[in-house]
Amino acid sequence: MRCTNCGKNIEAEDNWVEFSCPKCGKTKIVRCEKCKKLENTYKCADCGFVGP
């Protein structure tokens, strides 16, 4: 599994999150600890929603 933002492999990480797109609910968004901490934006591949 990889971070949606930076592409980092997060399988060995402890502090990451996975959730469905808040707008369409179709795409799974995965964020590593660093991207969460820096509040890097992510973009849904299905609907184009951009979130923090």
The residue extents of the domains of the chain are: 1-52
The DSSP annotation for 8-50 comes to: -B-TT-SS-EEEE-TTTS-SEEEE-HHHHHHT--EE-TTT--E
Task: Provide the whole-model pTM.
Answer: 0.82
User: pLDDT, tens digit, for every residue of 2-51?
Assistant: 999 999 999 888 899 999 999 999 999 999 999 999 999 999 999 999 99
pLDDT at 47: 95
